[in-house]
Structures are given as structure tokens and as C-alpha cells.
Amino acid sequence: MSFDLIISALPYTKPFLFVDEILQLDGQGCTGTYRFLEDSHFYKGHFKDYPVTPGVILTECMAQIGVVCLGIFLLNDLDEEKKITTEDVQIALSSTQIDFFVPIYPGEQVKVVSKKEYFRFNKLKCAVEMFNNKNELVCRGTISGMMKA
């Protein structure tokens, strides 16, 4: 399954799509990038006169790249004859535990790296890290979700 097909199967659209590119993807993990657009609506009020990307948005970006893209790949691997589409994907976030270290400002690009901890009974749990352009660790933690197609 091509990287573009996986991105097109994501159940998100702009302005809530936080995946620009998948760099690496296999049964053990996923690496991808996203650039936070300077005119994104959440910067207008977070924080006044000093815009910073909210932690919940960073977590969402990590989940979309690190868990959902990987989950679509894994679900497709289970049923190679079925091409998974947006309409097929059912997802639900089940838990997150994220530690934040460095802020991300408008216009910055991030790289997300995930490693599968387990995928069974439609639950996917991943260790996920986010890095900025200087390769500094922005945040890391675990994200779990239920996936079905």
C-alpha cells in the first residue's frame, strides 16, 4: 500500500489533517512530517501575542502519523485483498500519556516517529516521539487507539 493511499484513507481533512508526508512505514512503526501553518486558527488565542502550538494539537499530530497511519497499514496487511478507504476506517482514541519538552511555533515542521508496542484485538499501542527541525525532542509518550476497517 503506497504512502499516498494511506494518507488518502485518513478520516480527516484540512484544517484537521496533520500529516504532510510519510517517510517510512512498516509493520513495526511509522515516520512522517507535518508543517504547522502560520495562519492556523488555534494560534489566534494560544497565547495572546505569543503563539505556540497547543499540546492537544501536537498530540493529535502524533496520533495521526504515529498511530492512525500505522493502523491503516496494519489493517490493510490483515486483509490484503481489500483496499481500505476513508469510509472503511473506524478509529477511537483510547489513551494518551505525553510529556512535552520544547514548544512548536507557527511555521515549524515536525517529524513524528512511532514504534508499535502491540496490535491485537483491534487495539494499537505505540511509543511516539516528535522532533523539531533541529532534531530536538519536542514531546514523547504512548498513544493507544481502537481501529477497525
The catalytic residue positions are 46
Dihedral (CA of 18, 61, 128, 92) sign: negative
Backbone angles phi, psi at 21, to 5 degrees: -155, 140
**Would residue 142 be called left, alpha or beta, if left means φ above 0 and alpha means ψ between -120 and 50 degrees?**
beta
**Would residue 19 be called left, alpha or beta, if left means φ above 0 and alpha means ψ between -120 and 50 degrees?**
beta
